[in-house]
Each structure stands twice: as structure tokens, then as C-alpha cells.
Structure 1
Amino acid sequence: MKTTPLLLQLQDVCTQTKRLLIASVCLLFAAHAQAATPEEMILKKLEGAGPNIPVNEVRPSRVESIYEVELSTGEILYSTADGGYIFTGDMYQVAPQGFKNITEERRMAARAKEVAALDENQMVVFPATGEKKGQITVFTDIDCAYCRKLHQEVKELNDMGISVRYLGFPRAGVGSGSYYSMVSVWCSENQQDAMSRAKRGESIDEKQCENPIADQYRLGQQLGVQGTPAIFLDDGRLLPGYMPAKRLATALGLTL
């Protein structure tokens, strides 16, 4: 078949059209590959808003287009996918059995991980008598009235098979009188005896040594401790304030 000028022109147009289509598709793929993820956009927005926002992780929440922003302080914020809006507060799922606190579940998981990673050698421990059936990890203060009340029940807890693991949390802060009292307890040769005597209001020898109290105080703040005693279970539950021994045993799932 004879090729006419019109046919040549049409072939040229088709060739150019194919090239344009290929170029457009390549540009679309490149743009898609370079597009920031929601997590990246949220981080960028927060960095632009303030360089001191301590973001630990950004992840999708259970709600479509809403993301969880976990701070290194333990707080959980929520963000739209573009990072344009941030809001606080607990997220609840409306379930057939009632309201389910999704935010608290996240906190529990994070707290459980922190509790599992603790070095028991850095604590003052009152071990269970006989078979160990459970344990509680307690942020405590020497001068706290309810801390002293809880300590009076440590033997009862031990007899029920529950170990009590103490971490220092001087409510007045690092450098306060209660802080130095706790340092003296941790630096004593017999930590259990020093703790018990200090909790009874007796004077103990002032001692100094390398100790974990400041680190434990900061950890308590990170885990949301606002007062003492603050009782943590291994599953990440936080029981704020004093709780009688038998109720603690029930919370641990022990049959009395």
C-alpha cells in the first residue's frame, strides 16, 4: 500500500501521543513513589510547629484516616492523616458490651513493656514467701502516708505469694529531703530493713552511693505516675493509690 503524506502525518501523531502517554505514566509513578506517607507528613507538621515535641512513634489508629502520635513522655495524641489537626483525649470504641478504652490499651501495652524491661537488682524487693504467684511493682515515697500503710501489708502480700518490688519516686523531686532518704535506703547494706524502718518514721543512717533513684523518678513520670503509691501490674495496668492486700490479690487474679 502506498504511503501518503496524510498517513505519514497520522503515524507521526500516533507516535508522539504514545510518547506523551508513556511520559505521563512515568511521571505519575514517580510522583506516587515520592509522595510522603501520612506518618511522614504528620512528623513534618509537628517539627514545623515546634522542635521540642518529643515524638516516639506515629502509627495508624483503629479509626480510618486518624493516626496515633505517641510521645516519649508516654502521652498519646491523635492526628488527621495530613497532620493538619491534632487532638487529645482517650479514644473509646462503642462495643456491644459497653465502651472500650482504646487509648488505655495502648498505654497498658507500653507500660507492660517498660515494667518487663526493669532490672530487679535496681529495686528494693520483698519476695513472695514460698511459691511466687504474682508480683506488683510500686513507685513509692518514704514520707507518703499511704505508702507507709501499704508497706504495713507487705508481709501479708508476701504470705499470699506476691512479691513487692519498690522503685523510688520522691514526690518533692530529685534533690529533696525525701530523695536523699530514699538514696540512703538504696545505699544501705540491708535495704529491706532500711526501707521498713524509714517507712515507720525511724531515722536511718545517711548514705551516698551510685543509685537509680533519679532514673526511676523520671521513669515514673514517663509512665504517668502522679502520686504514690503507684502500683503497676505486669500486664501494664496502673493502680493509683493505696489498695488493701486482698484487693491487690484479686486484681492479680489470685483465688483467696
Structure 2
Amino acid sequence: MKHIISKACKVLFISATVASLSVFAAPEDLVRSSIQAAIPQYPIESIKLHEGTGLYVVSLGGGPVLHVSTDGKSFIAGDVYRVETNGIVNETELAKIQQVEDMPLDQMVVYPAKGEEKAHISVFTDVDCGYCRMLHKEVTALNEKGITVRYLGFPRAGTGSAAHAKLISIWCSDDPQKWMTEAKLGKVVPTSNCENPIAEQYQLGQAVGVRGTPSIVLSNGKFIPGYLPADELAKELGL
């Protein structure tokens, strides 16, 4: 609790100047215009009203999550916590995780559940790390348990690295599922290039706290920073 209070004391509350905004503008438009004017270096990825606080949650590409007043004149850059009877919930962390959930499926490499989907996991992955390869061997077992596996690219050596190029080749191949598996068996993926989301996914991973691969976001909101076998992942999902 001392850590939380200390962190809360460091939350930066900044007044943003709103220029030439119509008094008839919708709150979301006020928020967008204000943040774009105040922090132009970060693109706005999403704006959602948080019913609990009455603030708008603004996700910035490569930047922090902000909680913004409805008039767009003030924002909090820091963690916001909700007090529950059985503890506290970090609303800012939940907002970051939601960005993963909002990533379009057609930008991931997806291995769908067999039959009815009971849950899904989103995995930030490299192709060369040993634990990423161990997890990939569990994909069939996960699918048979009704769990869809959704891969996002996270080259551990950063964008522009050889690992980044391998992930691009997988995403741009004629069969990303096949070549993801081949790459994790140590085989060479034919070089390919196209418009791809790997750099964006890498930035998203950094924003949600990925420090290594695999890092797993469960559909129930839990974040698993490392490898777990299929049976343990199923338990974490309540299956």
C-alpha cells in the first residue's frame, strides 16, 4: 500500500490548453483536440469513456495511457486505481491490456480453437527464443481445450533486427500459420516483405509491460510474463 500511495503522489496532473474549440463539440472531440494539441508527438490510438471515474481513457501509440477530463482541459498521466472490497484494481493496467484485446485479428497469426472457443490467449512472441518454441509445441493441446492462440510479433532485439525481419517474413508469407511453425522448428523462412503490424505490436508490447518472450495476455485480463504449459494456462483461464 505504501508503494501505491508513493506512486500516486507522483502522478502528474497537467492542465492542457484548448485552442479554438467549439462550445458545441462533443466531449470526445474536445478530448481528442486537446490531447493532439498538447502532446502532438504521440498518435491517439483510442478514446473511451470510463464509466467508473467519468474520465476518458486515452491510449497513445508508444506513450502512456491518460485519463482525461470531459472538457479536455486536464489529464492525469499515471496509474489510476479502483478500490474494491477485496482489494484494489489498477485501472491503467487494465486499459493497457484492453489495447491487446482490441488488436484486429487479421493482424495476428491465429491458431483457432477446435470446436467452440472457450477462451483465447494473446502471445507476444519472438521466433528464436527457446520458451517461445516450447509454448508453440502446446498450441495443439490448447486448441483442443477450446483455447484460441493469437500471436503478436515482439522481436526481442528490437525493430530493424534480424528477428524483426523474420517476423515480417512470416506475417507476409502465403501461409503465416505454417511458417510460424516452421520458424519455431528452426527452419529458414523465405524472405518476404509487405505492409505489416510488427513494429506497432512491438511498441504495444512495451506499453503493456512485455520484458521478454513469450508474454501472454489471457482473455480474462491476466498477464503471464513467461511460459506456462497448456494445462496450467487452462487453469489460469478457469477451464
Indicate the TM-score class for this superposition, using the shorter chain for normalisation: 0.5 to 0.7
* Alpha-carbon distance in structure 2 between the residues aligned to 1:129 and 1:40: 42
Match among 79, 87, 97 for residue 98 of structure 1:
87
**TM-score with structure 1 setting the length:** 0.63
User: If each structure's helix is expressed as a fraction of its own residues, which one has the higher value?
Assistant: 1
Letter in 2 for 1:148: R
CA drift of 1:38 comes to 8.4
**Letter of the 2:90 counterpart:** N
Letter in 2 for 1:102: E
Name 1:221's counterpart in structure 2.
Answer: 203
In 1, the alpha carbon distance for the partners of 2:194 and 2:43 equals 28
Three-state SS of the structure 2 residue aligned to 1:253 is coil
User: Aligned partners of 1:75, 1:198: CA distance in 2, in Å?
Assistant: 33
- In the alignment, residue 214 of structure 2 is paired with which amino acid? P
The amino acid that maps onto 2:237 is L
- CA–CA distance in structure 2, aligned partners of residues 34 and 130 of structure 1: 52
What is the Cα deviation at residue 90 of structure 1? 1.9
Q: Name the counterpart of 1:21.
A: none
Partner of residue 173, structure 1 = 158
User: What is the match of residue 113 of structure 2?
Assistant: 128
Alignment pair present for 1:118 and 2:105: yes
Paired AA for residue 104 in structure 1: E
Task: Please state whether the residue corresponding to 2:105 is helix, strand or coil.
Answer: coil
**Separation in 2, partners of 1:123, 1:108:** 16
The whole-number CA distance in structure 2 between the counterparts of 1:170 and 1:102 is: 28
**Structure-2 change in CA distance of 1:81 and 1:163 (3 Å):** closer
Contact 1:144-1:228 at 8 Å conserved across structures = yes
Could you tell me how far apart the structure 2 residues matched to 1:193 and 1:34 are?
54
Decide whether aligned partners of structure 1 residues 52 and 133 sit closer, same or farther in structure 2, where only a CA change above 3 A counts. closer
Aligned alpha-carbon RMSD (Å): 3.8
How far apart are 1:173 and its partner, in Å? 3.2
SS at match of 1:104: helix
* Letter matched to residue 118 of structure 1: L
Displacement, 1:141? 0.8
Q: Secondary structure at the match of 1:167?
A: strand
- 1:244–1:172 CA distance, 2 compared to 1 (3 A): same
Secondary structure, aligned partner of 1:217:
helix
Conserved? CA contact 2:112–2:143, under 8 Å:
yes
Task: Please tell me whether Structure 1 or Structure 2 has the larger radius of gyration of its CA atoms.
Answer: 1
Aligned-residue offset at 1:178: 1.0
Tell me: CA distance 1:108–1:71, structure 2 relative to 1, closer, same or farther (3 Å): closer
Report the identity percentage.
40
Specify which of 175, 190, 194 is matched with residue 206 of structure 1.
Answer: 190
Counterpart AA for 2:225: P
Amino acid at match of 2:236: A
TM-score (norm 2): 0.66
Task: State the alpha-carbon separation in 2 of the partners of residues 188 and 39 from structure 1.
Answer: 39
More off after superposition, 231-240 vs 53-62 = 53-62
Partner of 2:58: 70
CA contact (8 A) 1:184 1:204 kept: no
- Residues of 1 paired with 2:174 and 2:32: CA distance? 48
Match of 2:138 in 1: 153
Distance 1:98 1:159, change over 3 A: same
- Aligned residue for 1:90, secondary structure, equals coil
> Is the 1:93–1:99 Cα contact (8 Å) retained in structure 2?
yes
Distance 1:249 1:217, change over 3 A: farther
Conserved? CA contact 1:136–1:164, under 8 Å: yes
Closer/same/farther in 2, CA of residues 249 and 177 from structure 1, 3 Å limit: same
Counterparts of 1:1-256 in structure 2, within 5 Å, are 49-55=38-44, 56-57=46-47, 62-63=52-53, 67-68=55-56, 70-73=58-61, 75-78=64-67, 86-112=75-101, 114-115=102-103, 117-119=104-106, 122-189=107-174, 191-200=176-185, 202-210=186-194, 212=196, 215-222=197-204, 224-225=207-208, 226=210, 227-254=212-239
